[in-house]
Every structure is written in C-alpha cells, then in structure tokens.
Structure 1
Amino acid sequence: MKAVKVRALAAGLGLAAVLSACSSTDTAAGQSGGAPRPGGTLTYALATSPDQLDPARSGLNVAGRVLRSIFDSLVSLQPDGSVQPWLATKWDISADGTAYTFTLRDDVRFQDATPLNADAVKFTFDRILAPQTKSLTAKFQLNALKSTEVLDARTVRLTLNKPSSALLTNLASPFLGIVSPTAAAKQGDQFTRHPVGSGPYEFVRWDTNSQIVLKRNPGYAWAQPAVKNRGAGHLDEVVFRIVPEDATRIGGAQGGELLAAEKVPAQLAAGVERDKRLRLVKERVTGLPYSLIFNQKQQPWDDVRLRKAVRAGLDVESIVKTLYLGTYERAWSAVTPGVLGYDASLERSYQPDVAEAKHLLDEAGWTAGPDGVRVKGGTQLVLRYVGSYPNNEKSHDIAQLVQQQLKAVGIKVDVDVSSNVAELLTKTGEFDVYPTGTAAVDPDALSGFYSSRILALVNGTQDLAGIADPDIDAWLDEGAASLDSQRRAELYKQVQRKLIDQVALIPIYAPTYTVAASRKVQGLAFDPLNSPIINDAYLAG
C-alpha cells in the first residue's frame, strides 16, 4: 500500500484539499524560473513562542511550524487528501483495521548520525504513551494505539485497541515526528532544548523569547512527495524570530529585517498588499474554530439557560467584523467549513437577542442588583473568562468586547489573562469559559475537547467543557472507529448539533493563516497545518 486515500478528507475536505503545496509556493514566494540559489538565511517571525521543541510534549500549532523542519514523519498528507509514503515506503492494514505494518526506508539517519530504524519508531511511540512524558497532543493522536512491535530493522507493527479512521492522518503530524532515541535518552527532560530528528534542518539553539536557529542538514535525502528538492535544503539557516507585537513583526517584514512574518492583522494587511517588496500569503485554516468553551463543571454555568443567555447577549458578528475587518469568517459550529461532516444547517440558527438573554436569566432566578449585575441568593453572576499571553490575534480584544456586551444583560465578566493557563485548565479547573481553537484536518479533533473518555485516557481529566455526555462520547467513539465516511459525517453532525443546542461553546471565528513574505523568498510552501515547508525555499536577487 504505497498511498492511501483518506476518505475523511475527500472532495474539498480539510485544509489539504483546499491548499496545495504547489499553490502555496506560488502564492507565498513566487517562482523566478531560474535555478535555486544556495546559501543565505531565512528569517521567519512567529507571533508567539513555542512551548516545547519536543514533539511528544508540545501541542501548540506554532511549535509545529518549527518542528516540521526538524522532524520527519512516517507518512505525509498530500494536497489531494491522500496519505503517501515518507519515512515509511509502504504499509499494510489488517482486515479488521487494528494492525498497521510499516516498512521503513533503509537510508535515513538522524541528525546525530544514528540510523532511523524500527527501534526508533517504537521508542518514539512508546515514549509518547509513557505517563512520565506527560504528552498531550501526541498522546491524543495515538489514543487508539495499544502497542508498537519491531518485526525487523525495517518493519514495525502498530496494534490498535480498535480501528481508527484518523490514524494515518495523525501519523503525518509533526507531533508524531520520529525522534532520535540516542539524543532523547541522553538529554532526558532537556530534549526539548536539544531536539534531534531526521529533518532537513538541524537545531542549533533556542534563545528564549527571542529566536530559534536551525541549520541545513547536509545529508538530507528523503523529502516528502510534495517537495521538489529531495536533497539538502538550499538555505544555510532558518531563524524563527519570536515577535509578539504585531506592528513590530509586520514592520520588520516591510523594512526588510525579516523575510517572512506570520499572522498579519487585518489592520495591516492592506499595507502589506500595497508593498511591492512583499506578498501577502493567505492560507485557509480548518479544524476547530476559535470559540468560547464553557466549563460546565462550574456552577452556575452547568445551567443551560445561563449559557444560552450568554450566547443571546453576544453579538459575535459585530465582534468579528470590528476586529478582523472581513479577513476572518464568522464561525457557527464546533468545526469549520471544509471539515468532514460540517453542518451548514447551524449557520444563522441562533442570533443575538438581548431581550431573550434577560428573559432566560429571569427564568433561572437571577435578578438585577443595584449595580446592574444579576444576583441570586446574595451572589453576583460572574463569568470567569481565562485568557493567555500574548494578545495573539486580538484575543484580549475579544475578551473586552465580551465583557462590554454582557454587561448590558447583567453578567459581570472577570477577565483573567494568565501565564499559567494549563494549570487552570487541567488541574484546578477554576474558570468558567476558555477561548481556544485548533487547526486540524479530521473531525476526530473534536474528541480532544469534548470526549470525556479520551481526555481521561490522555491526561486523567474530564473533557475541557466538563460535559461527560454519553451521547457525545458514543458518537465521537464511533466516528473515530468507523471507516465509512458517510457514517462518520452523520455522527459528527450529531455531535455539532448537540454541542450547539446545549451551548457547550460559542463559536467566534474561523481564522486565515497569513504571512507577509518578501519577494526575495522563492519556493516557500505550507503543509495542511500551516507549517512552512522549507525544503524548496531559497533567496533570489
């Protein structure tokens, strides 16, 4: 089996089906028509800092943008929605869908010169599942994995607890990149500061909150199929600069200090488009939209009437238009358009209605106090809204507008911008609403947010929304195991409808990944999760 078409991503599904590496290359960096010039440094500004450079331990999309150049995966996800060979040359799937046997290339070496073989694959996946690793995203992506077995130096078998329609797609993720067992064993917890993979660029150093420096891997010769340059990269170095301030980051691209800068805010996009030295790259992001997720473990937000009151009290349309000036689409469901099973019937199925919000609050026994804040039993109605640093994509501005709008219906919003959000979310649970979203190409990503079974399996906590709904759990479980795309689509529609009906979340926007790229940069492409693919990139002129 040299390539497998993932039916979950067929016909316009997933970001990979919308954006090809070739079209991204043309848009992002242009094609000069001449031979690539070797040498030079690509400076690429990130809006936030990765939390880790250990693929097993990180879960941030921004980390994936760096990890993709350091680590390779068993398989690769292609623009047409197919999964094709990469480190694995072929694979066989058992009749019952619970065993995947991969045959590996025999010429791959890690950046520390040790061979990449079946033992390395087993080490990587066993390490992800080990409790002491404290893996989150990678462990979720391997949640169906029961064991990894080495059959010989080039053959490895993954045995699953049940069939998994998302497994092959997940195996293409940078968070399941294969790590050097030698380096990981040597570095221990410090592997995140000294990552070693088999990718086209090697880690040099990480200056905290400043930059991450990579250099060309001279022995590289096993690029994924979408890449034209099968050998070592053209660039000498890639430097990921960490520049949270929008004006500084985009100004750096306009001034030439940076050759690429991600997340161009709407207010600066027009200036980038007018600048003849730059191109504005626009990559549609699919997955779970940026949403306000309620914590239903916390009273009084376990009362659906209060959650509906919050939704009715918010004018999301005006928030999105005010902050993003048409560059982001309003979201209506728990997944974005382009994901298998997206339920378009939910669009405009609810609208802002201040009178209805007030009626729901009255019905629930919350009456207006002397300062306008609703009160019940001597307690004010307070919504604890947890945000995180920095003000990425105007997330803090959203919080302020939510605060202002809900004041009109008598809900006080306390905004806590915390540097320790993970502690609040997974341990103390001391929050009422948390804004988040993630890029993904398969609707199984919903399980990571709304399946109580999966979250308990991964990190011992309840689902983020605190739902523990048996119907949602059952639908998500069946959707993950089913290999019938039509059945999966219907199951995920049922999940979306119940989540919206019960107001487990309030969808805000579906983002677009934007990059201001110098016209000097040629051959830069992006993968389905918006990570830059730098194998073909070079500097012209």
Structure 2
Amino acid sequence: MSRSIAWMKVMALAAVLVMVLSGCGAGGSSSGSAQASGGEQASQAEGGNLTFALATSPDTLDPHRSGLAVTVRAIRTIYDNLVVQLPDGSIKPWLATEWSVSEDGKSYTFKLREDVKFHDGTPFNAEAVKYNLDRVIDPATKAANSLALIRPYQSSEVIDEYTIKVNLASPSQAFLGNLSQALLGIVSPTAAKKYGDQLGKNPVGTGPYTFVKWDENADIVVAKNKDYNWAPETVENKAAPHLDTITFKIVPEEATRIGSVQSGQVLAAETVPPQNVAALKNDPNQQLLQANTVGLPYTLFFNLRKAPWDDVKVRQAVQSAVDVESIVKTLYLGNYERAWSALSPGILGYDASLEGSINPDINKANQLLDEQGWIKGADGIREKDGQKLTLRYVDGSPNREKRNDIAAIIQQQLKQVGIAVEVEITKDIATVIYQNWDYDLYGNSQVNSDPNALYAFYHTSAEGERRTLSGLSDPKIDQLLEQGAVETDPEKRVEIYNEIQQVLIDQAVILPIYVFPYTVAASKSVQGVKFDSLGYPLFNDVRIQP
C-alpha cells in the first residue's frame, strides 16, 4: 500500500480541488450542508419525496454512454464507484477497500467490498468490475466521456472473487482520481447484458437509490435502496437514505424552474439565474447552496479544420474583437467569474499568469484582418477572393446558462470588425457538432478533477477516433499532454500544463468565457444537501423538515 498512500498524499498536497459550499439567506449555513434550524426535529425527519428541478434533460442514465453533466445529478443516486475523491484531492475507499500500485505505475490491484449487491441482486465482485472496465473500451458500447476518463486502461485480471488487477498501457497520474467520477460508475453486468443499448432507460447500479421510472422530458424518479450500507466519506449517512424517493423534474425554462421553488411546487432547483440570487439570499423561506466546479470552464472552440479559422491571425482578430469581460458582467451580474485559460481556478496546473492577458482591442483586430487580405465591402462585411468573412456559431437549445445570449452578443461585437456571424441554435447538437462537424465556433465545458482532462480536447485524434472540438493537431501540444499524463512530480506537472494553456491562448485556439458555479435554490425545509469534490449534489444525508 505504500505507493498508493504516497500517491494520495501527493494528490492532497497538490490540492487539485477547492470546494466551497454556502447556505445563504436568513439562518443560512456554510458548514458543508444545509443544516436545519429546527435541530432535533429535523434530525428525526425520515421519508418523503424530494422534488428537484433540473435545468436540462439527461441524455441517458447509462454512465458509460453519457456526455452531459446534468446526467450526473441523477446517476450519482443510482451508481457507486470504486473510490471516492475528497475535496482536498485525496483518494479514499468506496467499493474498493484498499489498493496497491506496481513500481512501474502501470498496474493497480484492488481489494473489493464483499457485502455489496446490485439492485437486481447480482453480486458485486471482481468479475463485475472487470466487465465494467472492459465495457467502457468496447467500441460496441459507444462510450462518451467515460472513454477519455478510463484511458490508458488496457485490461483486467480477476485474482480472486474480490481482488482485481487493473493494467494500464502507460502510467497515468489521473487514472485513480478518474475512477471516482460518476461516469465511471459501476453498472450491473446482468442488466447491461439484458438491456444492451437500452440500459440508459433501465439503469441498475449499487447506489443509495434504485431506478423507478423516466418519463421523457418530464421527470426521473428514484427510490430508497433499503439495503444500502456502503456510502463513502463524502457523506455522513453510510446506510440507506432518509428520503423515500427523489423526483428529478426537467424544467429548462429558468424563470419557471426558480419560480417553482418559490411557489413550493418543487423543493429544490439547480442553476439559479444570476438575477435571482439576491432575492433568494433575502428570502426567509429559501436558501441558496453553491459549490465551485473545477475542470474546463465554458470555452468557445474554433474549428481549425475549416478555413479561414485555420489561420492563426484571423483567430487572433476574433480574440481581440470579443469583449469577454463585458459579456460576463452583463449576463451574470458578478455571480460568474470570467475564464482566462483552458483550465479553471482550483485545479492542479491552473495558470493564473494568464489572468488579464487578453483584452479587447478593436484596432488590433482590424489590423490583423487587413494584413490577411480581408477587406471590408460596401455592407461593412469583409471579403477575400469573392468570399464573405462569415463565422458559423452553433449553440444548443434550451438556453443553458444564457449561452444563446453569449452568441447574440458576440454576433454584434464581431460585426464591428467586419465579421458576419450566423448563429444556429439547435436541439440536435449530436448531429450538427459531433457527426457533421458543421460549425466554426462552438462552446463546451467539462467538470473534471485533473488537468489531464485537456488530453481529450487538444491531443491529435488517433486514426478512426472521434476528432476533438477544435480539430487541433500540434506535435508540441501532443508531446506536452503525453508528458503531463505520466509525470509524477506535481511541480513539473504544473509547468507542463502552464505551457499548454499559454500556447492555446497565444495561438487563439479557444476563447475562454466563464467559470460555472453550481447553484441550488431550495426550501429551508430541505436539510443535509452536500456536494462531492466536483460540485455535484449528494442526497444520502437529505431530510425534509416537517
């Protein structure tokens, strides 16, 4: 165990995550959960149904196939993981009780709990873990974000019923922490084989809640797992949840979502609009809970595989013309921080020196475009070789976190320098972005615990693999990403990821926009909400005060 303990200490010292939780308003708490003002009465509350409004609909309840953060709100209730990551970055046991790491860093041997069963009665054991890890890398699974998280997993060996050896193609400083992420939750092999592609509609895990139903675009219902007795250190209640059920209601329209909390139609709702924050803080019947998220901030990616965005000077012109500070202040009223790099503050390797490095400069933008031969026409839009300088900006529907509004503002800002922006808002991001790659600019973000998350976004795609959002192919970036994945010295890793961030900004590969704080508006009757190290809500300790 010595090597794994040492690794965990390194993670703790690196402090890859800083999680801030606040309960605001009259009687609010900042203790890490929403504590009941009713004291003993609240501590005895058992049962009931928590209604929790989601901002968007999950894409699937199969963790291995999901690509959306909103999915994690629901699947965290259904599935468990081998390990858990604490807010200080340390890795602790969950379904795995202990582990050791080989000297070359390429093999992990896990000892597993012997008292766990899946919701369908299937035993949790080494065979189940091997099935899960192999399932993620099986092309037939069509894994999404989980595939990037599990790399460089290669194979597993079942040593005995409750011992498994996991083999990697190369050492990875991110692997153990990634095993704690919800999208690598452990699914029932029996259910996965039975339902196949439909596991996402019939999820079965070992978690504190069991799946009841999912009415498309309406609600998802989960119920207490009465046999549960193996929760991780991130919650106080290690046994079955206090609640009988949770109903996740899908309410995309933000005014309706928050209004439903204020009117009592639901007890809690996520993603509080900035304009509602002050009112909630001052409402004696409501509370505002917040957790910082870390990983990749909301970032606009240029499609470098489409002209003229393969020209660094044209991209730099856009970078100079877009006033990000104004966008963030206008839309988020001081509640969201501006992003400055490809990583968010609080994660290992974040380069604070980039803060303040990019500011709007219309003259510079015009000069760069002039130099590249883009000349303004009679209508004010630039042309070259008979082609208008047009940027196709694609965003999704509904208007999550006012992202559609960002597109509208950028459209106006770029018009000032002669760039026509065509904004397309679509519900079918999967087809437009990930199948047709039909965009010049597209925004995305990712919650993650390790800077190795950059690998899936900026490393050159392997033959036959899904390309990255930017389509970047830079041997220097590739080499740095490969080094960062295996480097064991935290200080050297910081240097590597600093350099990567600087290149991405210098070359205007991206436009970082904002850092997302996860916020929940809740009735004061809802007590015990906690958040994991990535800012996702946990419901093991939740009670509803009578």
Q: Same fold (TM over 0.5)?
A: yes
Residue 428 (structure 1) shift: 2.0
Listed as ranges, the matches of 1:452-463 within 5 Å are 452-453=460-461, 456=462, 460-463=465-468
Q: CA deviation at 1:441?
A: 1.6
Q: CA-to-partner distance for each residue in 1:236-260, whole Å, 9 max, x for gaps?
A: 0011110001111001111111111
Counterpart position of 1:13: 16
Native 8 Å contact 1:335 1:443 kept in 2: yes
**In the alignment, which residue of structure 2 is the partner of 1:412?**
420
Structure 1 distance, partners of 2:404, 2:67, is 21
The answer to whether the 8 Å contact 2:218/2:249 transfers is yes
Q: Which amino acid aligns with 1:252?
A: S
**By how many angstroms is 1:8 displaced?**
4.5
Q: Distance in 2 between matches of 1:20 and 1:82?
A: 22
Matched, 1:156 2:164: yes
**1:540 to 2:545 alignment:** yes
Equivalent residue number for residue 526 of structure 1: 531
2:496 counterpart residue number: 491
Match of 2:316 in 1: 308
Report the counterpart of residue 485 of structure 2 in structure 1: 480
Q: Residues 101 and 173 of structure 1: is their aligned pair in 2 closer, same or farther, counting only changes over 3 Å? A: same
Among candidates 498, 511, 517, match of residue 516 of structure 2: 511
Tell me whether 1:318 sits opposite 2:330 in the alignment. no
> For residue 318 of structure 2, what is the amino acid of its counterpart?
V
| Structure 1 Cα separation of the partners of residues 374 and 266 of structure 2 | 53
In 1, the alpha carbon distance for the partners of 2:151 and 2:13 equals 23
Among candidates 185, 195, 206, match of residue 177 of structure 1: 185
Runs of 5+ consecutive residues of structure 2 not aligned to the other structure: 24-28
Q: What is residue 33 of structure 1 aligned with on the other side? A: 39
Which residue identity lines up with residue 62 of structure 1 in the other structure? V
In the superposition, relative to structure 1, how do residues 20 and 67 fare at CA in structure 2: closer, same or farther (>3 Å)? farther
Tell me, yes or no, if the aligned pair for 1:290 and 1:435 is still in contact at 8 Å.
Answer: yes
Partner SS for 1:292: strand
Would you say 1:430 and 2:454 are equivalent positions? no
Residues 1:464 and 2:472 aligned together: no
Deviation at 1:6, TM superposition (A): 5.8
Matches within 5 A, 1:123-134: 123-134=131-142
Distance 1:396 1:29, change over 3 A: farther
Pairing of 1:322-333 with structure 2 (within 5 A) = 322-333=330-341
Cα distance per residue 1:412-451 (max 9 Å; x no partner): 0011112222223333222111111111121111112111
Alpha-carbon distance in 1 for matches of 2:334, 2:413? 21
8 Å contact 1:9–1:441 — kept in the other structure? no
Q: Is the 8 A contact 1:29 1:518 kept in 2?
A: no
* Amino acid across the alignment from 1:297: R
Any idea what the Cα deviations from partners look like across 1:180-203, whole Å, max 9, x if unmatched? 011111111111000000000000
Question: 1:54 aligned to 2:57?
Answer: no
Spell out, residue by residue over 1:54-104, the C-alpha distance to the aligned partner (whole angstroms, 9 max, x if none).
Answer: 001002111011111100000001122110000000001000100000000
Number of corresponding residues: 536
Alignment correspondent of 1:42: 50
3-state SS in 1 of match to 2:411: helix
CA positional deviation for 1:7: 2.9
| Conserved? CA contact 2:33–2:527, under 8 Å | no
Report how far residue 20 of structure 1 moved: 10
Distance in 1 of aligned mates of 2:311 and 2:34: 47
Post-superposition offset of 1:342: 1.0
Report how far residue 529 of structure 1 moved: 2.2
1:401 aligned to 396, 405, 409, which one?
A: 409
Mapping 1:66-145, distance limit 5 Å: 66-145=74-153
- C-alpha displacement of 1:530: 2.2
CA separation of 1:439 and 1:225: change in aligned 2, threshold 3 A: same
Shift of 1:27: 4.8
Percent identity for Structure 1 against Structure 2 = 50
Q: Please report how far the alpha carbon of residue 319 of structure 1 lies from its aligned counterpart in structure 2 after TM superposition.
A: 0.5
Q: Which residue of 2 aligns with 1:231?
A: 239
1:356 aligned partner? 364
Q: Which moved more, 1:230-239 or 1:336-345?
A: 336-345
Hey, what's the Cα distance between the residues in 2 that align with 1:350 and 1:395?
A: 21
Corresponding residue for 2:506? 501
For 1:329, give the aligned amino acid. E
Residues 63 and 15 of structure 1, relative CA distance in 2, 3 Å threshold: farther
Question: How far apart are 1:398 and its partner, in Å?
Answer: 0.3
TM-aligned CA deviation for residue 11 of structure 1: 5.1
The separation in 2 between residues aligned to 1:406 and 1:6, in whole angstroms, is 48
| Matched letter for residue 10 of structure 1 | L
- Alpha-carbon distance, 1:387 to partner: 0.4
- What letter corresponds to residue 364 of structure 1 in structure 2? Q
Residue 276 of structure 1 pairs with residue 276 of structure 2: no
- 1:264 matches 2:272: yes
* Contact 1:292–1:506, Cα closer than 8 Å, also in 2: yes
Q: Determine if the alignment matches structure 1 residue 290 to structure 2 residue 293.
A: no
CA–CA distance in 2 between the matches of 1:280 and 1:196?
Answer: 32
Deviation (angstroms), 1:38: 1.1
Q: Is the 8 A contact 1:232 1:535 kept in 2?
A: yes
Q: Which moved more, 1:191-200 or 1:2-11?
A: 2-11
Cα separation, 1, equivalents of 2:160 and 2:402:
51
Aligned partners of 1:19 and 1:79 also within 8 Å: no
In structure 1, what residue type is equivalent to 2:16?
Answer: L
Is 1:65–1:530's contact at 8 Å kept on the other side of the alignment? no
- Look up the equivalent residue of 1:402 and give its one-letter code: I
| 1:5 alignment partner AA | M
Q: Displacement of 1:32 after TM fit?
A: 4.3
Q: 1:26 to 1:460 in 2, by over 3 A?
A: closer
Residue identity opposite 2:471 in structure 1: G
Once the two structures are TM-superposed, the CA of residue 5 in structure 1 deviates from its matched residue by 1.8
Q: CA deviation at 1:15?
A: 3.8
Inter-CA distance 420–495: structure 2 relative to 1 (3 Å threshold): same
- Using the size of structure 1 for normalisation, the TM-score is 0.96
Aligned letter for 2:75? L
Partner of 1:377: 385
Q: Is the partner of 2:433 in helix, strand or coil? A: helix
Q: Tell me, what secondary structure is at the counterpart of 2:491?
A: helix
The yes-or-no answer on 1:247 pairing with 2:279 is: no
- Match of 1:5, SS? helix
Deviation of residue 9 (structure 1)? 5.4
What SS does structure 2 have at the residue aligned with 1:250? helix
Partner secondary structure for residue 51 of structure 1: coil
Cα shift readout 1:195-236 (whole Å, capped 9, x = no counterpart): 000000000000111100000001001011222111111000
Q: In angstroms, what is the RMSD of aligned CA positions? A: 1.7
Cα distance in 2 for partners of 1:31, 1:55 equals: 36
